[in-house]
Structure 1
Amino acid sequence: SVLDANGREVAREVVQEGEQAPTAPDGGKVKLTPLSLIFSNEEFGYRTITVERPLCDEQGRLVLGERGKNKGKPQADGALRDTENVPLAEDVEVYFRREVLPHARDAWIDHEKTKVGYEIPFNRHFYVFEPPRPLDEIDADLKQVTDRILSMIGELSA
């Protein structure tokens, strides 16, 4: 089953055409298309984290905060600020160590700016590749169009 005791989706399941449709969270049946995919809500979620880098003066020394909670800590350089989208299912710190720190050893996360978002990437999950027409067929169409254009030009000059 893809639903927990509270009716929440808990796992992805692929249902092929002709199979029994699972129950939807509202108690109804899921309408099947040739291929139906069922996802948990968490699979569409992500956290947007703000990655900060330190501000340096002209000599390359760190500029430190002078008052408040930032006193003695490196100031963030707005020109070097970046964001990363981290899947909800993944730990932010693990992602940060794996994806950011190897490229920017002095970076840190500003957790106060972290936001949660959701996106349903239809193309990623439902795109079906359709191979292009055979080259011979395309060449024949081009020749036919070219011949028609040449005949129209010939009619104009006659």
Structure 2
Amino acid sequence: MKPTGSRVGIVLSGSPLFSGQAGSGESEIRGWILENDWLEGIVALPDQMFYNTGISTYVWILTNDKATEDRGTVKLIDAREHGTKMRKSLGDKRKELTPAAIDEIAQLYGGARDEYAADARVKVLTNETFGFQRITVERPMRRRWEVTAEVVADEPYAAYAALVGQRFETEKALLSEVPELSTAQKRTFAKACAVADSEAPIVKGRGGKVEPDPDLRDQENVPLPAGWLALDETARERALIETAEAHLDNEIRPYVPDAWIDHTKTKVGFEIPFTRQFYVYTPPRPVEEIAQEIKDLEAQIQQWINGLGL
């Protein structure tokens, strides 16, 4: 784009909207565009619009000269139902946009903030709406150690067959029974004997630090706080921690009281979940209606069978 100001339209598939996890190249590109406030809007086109593919496509409108009222926001226009079926297809192209449909889409885009603000096909969202932090939720490791026949089936552990059936509350207590093993062998032996037990004491490492359980580790996406992109680096980091801790207290600890967040593993990502933004819940049909339909079909099938004289 020209430094003096340009507006660019790019036709892309749906993949650039969401592919790539937080911290990936795709996510970083989306974040770079949004942080610079270059994304003016995205228009979802009908499927089957192009000759060699029937996939859904999207027009990204980029500009480095946004209007004042558009700064910090992105317009989303859902024009997926505006396609008209062609009389004769051209390869995979089976739909087209009529001049009237194009005019209507342009009106939706241009009036997204005023006369069409309440239209279900229009969304105007802040740049932060598309950002999130990927947090890592840890839980304490709880283990007991039990020697089984499988553990001592092979050398050099066969010499400790007498320990089969014994349980130990700590790894240290277990390893005190096998002083002849090397450090590597002790590590392997302890790992083989370890059994996850929610009632067992918490395992602590050096300095009494609680050890996280990798089997219970979980990750969640937490939306970015409002105005996050306008903050400096220090304020951003502080806002991320505060938002994550609030999510932990409100959404996680009521069910898992001993959980905590390892903030050193947090990554910021960006995605544009277009379909989710325009999703409309459709309640399922009543069970009675479905049951009646099945009975009607069964009766119809029975009539056909009787007609065949079977």
TM tier relative to shorter chain: 0.5 to 0.7
Deviations 1:33-89 (A, max 9, x none): 7631111232232222111111134243332223xxxx4311111122122221112
Please list, as runs of the form range in 1=range in 2, the aligned pairs for 1:24-39 lying within 5 A after superposition: 35-39=121-125
The percentage of aligned residue pairs carrying the same residue is 31
Question: Once the 2 structures are TM-superposed, how far is the Cα of residue 103 of structure 1 from its aligned partner?
Answer: 2.7
Q: Which amino acid aligns with 2:266?
A: T
Question: Once the 2 structures are TM-superposed, how far is the Cα of residue 157 of structure 1 from its aligned partner?
Answer: 1.3
Q: Is the 8 A contact 1:54 1:76 kept in 2?
A: yes
Are 2:161 and 1:8 aligned? no
Are 2:192 and 1:56 aligned? no
Summarize the Cα distance change of 1:112–1:4 in structure 2 as closer, same or farther, 3 Å threshold.
Answer: farther
Question: Once the 2 structures are TM-superposed, how far is the Cα of residue 107 of structure 1 from its aligned partner?
Answer: 1.8
TM-score w.r.t. the length of structure 1 is 0.60
Alignment partners' CA distance in 2, 1:76 and 1:84: 17
Give the corresponding residue for 2:111.
21
Q: Is the 8 A contact 1:4 1:10 kept in 2?
A: no
Please list, as runs of the form range in 1=range in 2, the aligned pairs for 1:3-152 lying within 5 A after superposition: 5=68, 8-10=71-73, 21-22=111-112, 35-58=121-144, 59=169, 60-66=200-206, 71-89=207-225, 91-117=243-269, 118-120=271-273, 122-123=275-276, 125-127=278-280, 129=282, 143=296, 148-152=300-304
Q: Which amino acid aligns with 2:204?
A: L
- Partner SS for 1:46: strand
- Partner SS for 1:39: strand
Alignment partners' CA distance in 1, 2:249 and 2:71: 32
Give the corresponding residue for 2:190.
none
Deviations 1:3-40 (A, max 9, x none): 78495334899xxx9886148xxxxxx9xx76311112
Structure with bigger helix share is 2
Alignment partners' CA distance in 2, 1:139 and 1:99: 42
Bigger CA radius of gyration: 2
Q: Which amino acid aligns with 1:120?
A: P
Q: Which amino acid aligns with 2:138?
A: E
